[in-house]
Structure 1
Amino acid sequence: MAHLIKETFPVLEMSCAACAASVSSMLDSVPGVQEATVNFANQTALVTYDEDQVKPEAMRNAVRSIGYDLVIDTHNREEIQQQAQQSHYQALKIRTIIAIILSLPVVVIGMFFMNIPYANWFMCVLSTPVVFWVGRGFFVNAWKQARHRKANMDTLVALSTGIAWIFSVFNTINPHFWMSRGLHAHVYFEAAAVVVAFISLGKLLEEKAKSNTSSALKKLMGLQPKTVVVLRGNEQTEVPLEAVQVNELILVKPGNRIPVDGAVVEGMSYVDESMISGEPIPVLKEKGAKVFAGTINQQGSFQFKAEKVGADTVLAQIIRMVQEAQGSKAPVQQLVDKIAGIFVPVVMSIAVLTFVIWYLVAGDFTHGLLAAVTVLVIACPCALGLATPTAIMVGIGRGADHNILIRDAESLEKGYKTDVLLLDKTGTITEGKPTVESIAVKEDLLPVLLAMELQSEHPLAVAVVHHLQAAGVQAVKLARIESITGKGIAATYNGHRYLAGNAALLQVKPESDATIMLSEDDKIVGYVNITDQVKPTSGAAIAQLKQQGITVYMLTGDNEKTAAAVAKSVGIEHYKAGMLPGEKAAFVKSLQEQGRVVAMAGDGINDSQALAQADVSIAMGKGSDIAMDVAKMTLITADLQAIPRALALSKLTVRTIRQNLFWAFIYNLIGIPLAAGVLYPVNGFLLDPMIAGAAMALSSVSVVSNSLRLKWTKL
């Protein structure tokens, strides 16, 4: 019986989506690998394999055979990948700067000072390091693809720049070959150098976007402590987290993170579970209560029995589900490389065919060679390579002006198609912090209540303190104070005994929905109602989304009563309460199976699975690192009205990308036939390679200019 394992491995040295396809096909060919999905955006491979048939070492060797690398180290995979990406980015940055510096004088000489002595040799000396040192990656990657009978944008760049350089060197060394035939010996060093500089700049923009990717998944993994205090016999022993076994007793002290999932067996404390549940109020943990890895113990010490360790904990499952959801998505940039994969052999065929027709039909070797070179020069995909990154860069800047951070083109492409929006409650629709809604306590007892709540660091007590201090209440000096864990505070003042806390402390059934009650000599004398306030703009934003035809749902881990009240206050008809992280993600998937395009907005670790599953994921900027890491859009404002603006921006940006791609291709559709000489039999027109080089540069300028229009487009 097969023992299938699904595991994520970082992949190094990938430079385009075609590289990802090569790695994927190579992994798929390894015996024992059931499925391999390679994500170029994340630089990872999600592999499902039979551990009885294949080991990670075999998969790494297969990937290395085609010039890439697979990180199989189990301890520091992310660190190795991050270091490699940073090194690659810095090297690319240096090469791009050098390419621009060396290309500028080549362009100036080629355009304005072609007739100065040794002009061609100057250009040759300056352009050679640009083409073969700065641009060596294009040639190396083109060779890798050719070995496996594939082609990508690197192939076209290598061909066009390489042939332009070789042709120019030939004309520099032997100009009489053309002059003896009545033609001028043109050189195209500036075209070759500028092409490399432009494409390198485009790749630098793409690498910068990838290098800025947050390491929040790594931080999430770091939520678990490296060492754990276990109780073995009557002794406390500190052991590595990996050594913890199921059913072992673990001691958790105040301020410590809970290392694994389990159940409390002794002691009592409040635990901050906001990273799992999304709710800001700490939860009381008594004997028998469940505790989860990564959550934070706030007050007392307690012991619990380990029930799930390692990869079985809720935290580990969240990490794994996020990685799998991210790895299953292909970025929109892959489209460009797929097209280039077809475009490259077509252009090569056209160049060869052009030469053959000129030579066989017209018997003209010279014009045939010139026309073939012109086809390759004018077909260089510089505009194609810049079409997406420039639009994304401007779109990201435009979004930043409106407090919207956008991570990739995939979410932009799907954003304007959204017809369902799911909103988390706490921290998204609401403020995410408890505040006093109403207080019904006699005025002369307010100083007593303030003095009692000052003795507690519980978030509810803090909310009461802030409210009373803002009202100018001054605390009195209490005679006797007693903190009752999990229930509240007891104190004595002027001979009277006061209790401030929940219904369990007062041992009565509450007469209202009060969060905190105050009693004097066992008689209830006041109530404090505490709520998580709805953001002022939430209602208006939801109304605006409805006007756009978007169905809005609210998903929350809170109780039914609270969820209903919040939903009603902001005009949401559809909501689901008491939802766990996995249930939110499952709900997203169920909507997608109905053909809906789903956007999800949230701020907590508990939202990360749903965010990763959603077509469009939006994180609130004050939320957890993992939510912002998973989300493709992040709002750095509490104003939910940024969401409809973000969806409008996505429509404008994807429209710009499509316009850029249209102009990049229409230029080739018109330019390539002209370069091949289709008009020569009609009017004797033959496109000069120099003009082809200028047209190539103009196409890039037009694409960049079109992208810049986004800066002044009203959202």
Structure 2
Amino acid sequence: MKKIVLSIAGMSCSACSSSLENFLNKQDGIISASVNLVLANASIEYDDNLTKEYLDELIKKAGFKSLGEYKVVQENLRKKDKLKLILFGILALIVLYVSMSHMVCLPIIEFLNMEKYPLNYAICLAVLNIPFLIYGLDILISGVKNLLHRSSNMDTLVMLGVLSSELYSLFSLVMIFNGSIECVENLYFESVCIIIYFVKLGRFIADKNKNKTLDAIKELVTITPDYAYLKKGDEEVRITLDKIKVGDILICKPGMKIAVDGRIVKGSTHLDEAFITGESIAQKKSVGDDVLAGSLNVDGFIEYEAIRIGAASTISEVVRLVIDASNTKTHISNLVDKISQKFVPTIFFIALLTFIVYMVIGSTLTQALERFITILVSACPCALGLATPLAIVVSEGVCARFGILVKSSDILERVKDVSTVVFDKTGTLTYGDLRLSEEHIFGGDSNDVKRIVASLESKTSHPISNAFKIDDKLYDVVDFKTIDGIGLTGKVNDKVYFIGNNKLFKVLDIKNDYEDYEKNIVNTGASIVYVFEENKVVAIFGVKDIIRDNIQEVIKNLKVMNKKVVMLTGDNECTAKIIASSIGIDEVRANVLPKEKKINIDELKQSGKVMMIGDGINDAPSLKSADIGVSIASGTDIANNSSDIILMNNDLSNIVKLFKISKFTFKIIGENLFWAFIYNICMIIISIGILPITNNPMIAAFAMTLSSITVSFNSLRILKLNKEGR
């Protein structure tokens, strides 16, 4: 299976994106396809035997155009486009002045007076009409193409409305020329001009707002420098990033940015990783530490080895995840897509039925045609189509700015419904940087026992191993294995050792005579580590972790949001309760094995949606079992992280921000959909003529434009969420 994201040209509304998505998903060899109107792209999973060229042809067959692989670049709104909009705006005012002068008694050149010189008046409007037809030619062509492909979109409605107005106006012009002066009242040339202008104006503003939605993603894409300095002997050679190879030694001076992911081999500095991880404080980095592409070197000179380049870099992976998430659909999106597919045909049917009814009840052709055109032009699938994806793209970008990577938009939708938040203890509520707090040696030399423990712990990635790191040479370890939820074992110097918690006594079938030591250690808030040589206790260690600085505030804010907060840990109950009490967590589930964590999560899910927050490695089963799994990434391991949401830094206040972003985003989506539906319902009722309210094609075109603009500006309110998450 292959996957590709292609840029698509020619989509103007949700009916376009829905029709293309449905068309692609029906084709042989296409596993799945998702089309995003806001990003103007199609994410396609397809069989290995298909080619990109074949996909391009399929897209062309559907009535659109593939522009190649998608790149996050904002569409340039050229000065020429702005100038055209201004010039046609002036011309539209002239058209309105000429066409309405007789209604409001405006002064006008004598030979254009409608009552005295109707033919001159009609010819003038027809001539002024020509530039607008050329200006809107792309809309008309798109509408015709969609009809030929047996599909329909907003362009189809506009095209039908414009061509109906144009043909009827040309017929009236011929009748005036033949002496039927009364046909001057049947001209719709000005409606054609105003409809096309308002559609163009609406699209210009919508495109401008779409560009704003991509700001956060574009910042990530452009964060890396254009070039780097390669160390060649004693020389510094300036090269572009595509010339860098894995293993190259690169130089970074104060004020410069890291070019690719790497590891420091010389020097030390502070790096600002705010754009990547959301961490606002510059991080101390020295020899052996990893550095991320795009990080700003604050104050030191370093040399670093290139490790991950191009698409393999962390920043590229972040961008890919954000784009992939934006291309997924929420439940609301899927519902709106289904409605959009039926929207245009339904509107056309209503317009045609209204036209027939008006003709049957004795209205003039002009009156019936005006109702027909007004209904076509007033309906706005654009507002409906932009309501959800625009808000989703903005919120995904805001999350990325905070260092929160949400892997799909439906996950962001589910966040707002979470009622229980479960935290792992070690490495999540605490920093996971454990240190020895006390020790009791019962046999042998203290340093030698620690060396044995360090040798065994070096084989595991558990945070407890950090407490036993030493500078001395380690012993060779054989027959190493972990004991799930209990500890580990291995052979050192031909002796078998066991290291772990008090459950080892049960495993080894030995009576625990050290409960007093255990009680004293856990009462200090430390975790206990037993060391057995064969079946004899040779040492007891207390290891203590540091609670995260802002965790009390995080727990407090979650409670204010009416979230139930639970600690789930494999540590002993006494230590867990001491830590939980100090940070405000009321419910503690301790002494829980990894496989038992999943059982606990399933129990909690019976009373509501559950979010589990852990390290993403040791907690993988429980993270997967939860409705939403959140893991803290090291900043470089996101590619293989299987959780739903990744926190790129260690700031758990981002959990609070995540809840606020989710709630606000779907509040905005609700407002957008409410406005879009109410607008369309009201405008259709008014356009039919049921209510005693005046409406005509020009007013309808303006209202349609206003609807799309309202939805797009409302979605941009999400950008105002500041670093505190609002």
> TM (normalized to structure 2)?
0.55
Residue type at the aligned position of 2:137? R
Q: 2:667 aligns with which of 651, 660, 668?
A: 651
The 8 Å contact of residues 391 and 707 in structure 1, kept in 2 or not, is answered as: no
Whole-angstrom distance in 2 between the partners of 1:251 and 1:691? 67
Q: Which residue of the other structure, out of 124, 130, 134, is the alignment partner of 1:122?
A: 124
2:39 aligns with: 42
Do residues 97 (structure 1) and 69 (structure 2) align?
no
Task: Tell whether the 8 Å contact from 1:419 to 1:551 is kept in structure 2 after alignment.
Answer: no
Note the alpha carbon deviations across 1:98-135, whole angstroms, 9 max, x for none.
443333343344445154444433333334433x1332
Matched with 2:688 is 672
| 2-structure distance, mates of 1:179, 1:302 | 87
- Stretches of structure 2 that go unaligned for 5 or more consecutive residues are 104-113, 395-400, 403-408, 430-470, 472-523, 526-545, 569-574, 589-610, 716-725
Q: Distance in 1 between matches of 2:315 and 2:709?
A: 46
- CA offsets, 1:623-669, max 9 Å, x none? 99xx9xxxxxxxxx99x899859946863773364145224224414
> 2:50 and 2:420 mapped to 1: Cα distance?
42
Would you say 1:661 and 2:672 are equivalent positions?
Answer: no
How far the C-alpha of 1:191 sits from its partner, in A, is 3.1
**Matched residue, 1:378:** 375
Question: Residue 14 of structure 2 contacts residue 381 of structure 2 at CA under 8 Å; is this kept in 1?
Answer: no
Residues 293-312 of structure 1 aligned to structure 2 (within 5 Å): 299=300, 301=302, 304=305, 306=307, 309-312=309-312
State the AA in 1 paired with 2:208.
K
Deviations 1:178-210 (A, max 9, x none): 969x98842233333333333333222211111
1:63 maps onto 2:62 in alignment: no
SS in 2 for 1:70: strand
Say which SS state the counterpart of residue 171 (structure 2) adopts: helix
Q: CA separation of 1:540/1:606 partners in 2, compared to 1, >3 Å: closer, same or farther?
A: farther
Query: Is 1:270–1:283's contact at 8 Å kept on the other side of the alignment?
Result: yes
**Partners of 2:134 and 2:420 in 1: CA distance:** 49
Measured against aligned partners, the alpha-carbon deviations of 1:301-336 in whole angstroms (never above 9, x if no partner) come to 566584x55444444433332332222247978977
Q: Which moved more, 1:40-49 or 1:184-193?
A: 184-193
Deviation at 1:570, TM superposition (A): 7.8
Q: Are residues 701 and 45 of structure 1, via their aligned partners in 2, closer, same or farther at CA, if it must alter by over 3 Å?
A: closer
Counterpart of 1:207 in structure 2 is 207
The alpha-carbon distance between structure 1 residues 188 and 545, as it changes in their structure 2 partners (threshold 3 A), is: same
* Partner residue in 2 for 1:631: none
Residue in structure 1 matching 2:6, options 9, 18, 35: 9
Q: Structure 2 counterpart of 1:661, which letter?
A: F
1:167 offset after TM fit, Å?
1.3
SS at match of 2:186: coil
1:422 deviates by 8.5
Contact 2:154–2:380 at 8 Å: present in 1 too?
no
Say if 1:106 and 1:152 are closer, same or farther in 2 by CA, change over 3 A.
same
CA contact (8 A) 2:377 2:697 kept: no
Q: Measured at CA, do residues 353 and 606 of structure 1 come closer, stay the same or move farther in structure 2, by a change above 3 Å?
A: same
Letter in 2 for 1:166: L
Distance 1:344 1:221, change over 3 A: closer
Question: TM-score of the superposition, structure 1-length normalised?
Answer: 0.56
Secondary structure of the residue aligned to 1:113 is: helix
Question: How big is each residue's C-alpha offset from its partner over 1:53-88, in whole Å with a ceiling of 9 and x where there is no partner?
Answer: 233344334435556443437xxx637x53xx214x
The residue number in structure 2 matching 1:321 is 321
- In the TM superposition, residue 235 of structure 1 has moved relative to its aligned partner by 10
Q: In the TM superposition, what are the counterparts of 1:399-478 in structure 2 within 5 Å?
A: 417-419=416-418
Q: Distance in 1 between matches of 2:390 and 2:4?
A: 32
The answer on 1:113 being equivalent to 2:102 is yes
Moved more, 147-156 or 29-38: 29-38
Structure 1 residue 142 displacement after superposition? 0.6
Looking at structure 1, the residues matched to 319 and 76 of structure 2 have their Cα atoms a distance apart, in angstroms, of 23
**Alpha-carbon distance in 1 for matches of 2:416, 2:624:** 17
| Structure 1 residue 157, shift from structure 2 partner | 1.1
Describe the shift of the 1:155–1:71 C-alpha distance in structure 2 as closer, same or farther (beyond 3 A): closer
1:22-421 residue pairs with structure 2 within 5 A? 22-24=19-21, 33-51=30-48, 53-64=49-60, 68-72=64-68, 78=71, 81-82=73-74, 85-87=75-77, 92-113=81-102, 115-117=114-116, 118=118, 119-130=121-132, 132-175=133-176, 185-212=185-212, 213-214=214-215, 216-217=217-218, 219-220=220-221, 223=224, 226-227=227-228, 229=230, 242=242, 248=247, 250=249, 255=254, 269=268, 272=271, 274=273, 280=281, 282=283, 285-286=286-287, 299=300, 301=302, 304=305, 306=307, 309-329=309-329, 339=339, 341-352=341-352, 367=364, 370-381=367-378, 385=382, 417-419=416-418
Distance of 2:20 and 2:390 partners within structure 1? 28
Change (3 A) 1:541 1:242: same
Measure, in 2, the Cα distance between the counterparts of 1:572 and 1:193.
Answer: 67
Instruction: Percent identity, please.
Output: 20
Helix, strand or coil: the match of 1:150? coil
The alpha-carbon distance between structure 1 residues 537 and 665, as it changes in their structure 2 partners (threshold 3 A), is same
State whether structure 2 residue 700 is matched by structure 1 residue 696: yes
- Separation in 2, partners of 1:602, 1:205: 39
In the TM superposition, what is the alpha-carbon distance from 1:159 to its structure 2 partner?
A: 0.8
Shift of the 309–9 alpha-carbon distance from structure 1 to 2, 3 Å rule, reads same
The equivalent residue for 1:479 is none
Residue identity in the other structure for 1:327? N
1:230 and 1:238 in contact (8 A); partners too = no
CA distance in 1, matches of 2:249, 2:660: 48
SS at match of 1:78: coil
User: Aligned partners of 2:556, 2:204: CA distance in 1, in Å?
Assistant: 40
Distance 1:261 1:203, change over 3 A: closer
8 Å CA contact 2:260–2:292 kept in 1: the answer is yes
Contact 2:221–2:316 under 8 Å retained in 1: no
Contact kept? 1:24, 1:38, Cα under 8 Å: yes
Residue pairs, 1:554-565, within 5 angstroms:
none
Query: 1:505-584 maps to which residues of 2 (within 5 A)?
Result: 534=550, 542=558, 544-546=560-562, 550=563, 579=615
Cross-structure match for 2:505: none
Which amino acid is 1:123 matched to?
L
CA separation in 2, counterparts of 1:658 and 1:313?
Answer: 41
Contact 1:542/1:552 (8 A) holds in 2: yes
The aligned residue for residue 448 of structure 2 is none
CA distance in 1, matches of 2:136, 2:177: 30
CA distance in 2, matches of 1:161, 1:138: 10
1:91, 1:587 → 2: CA distance?
56
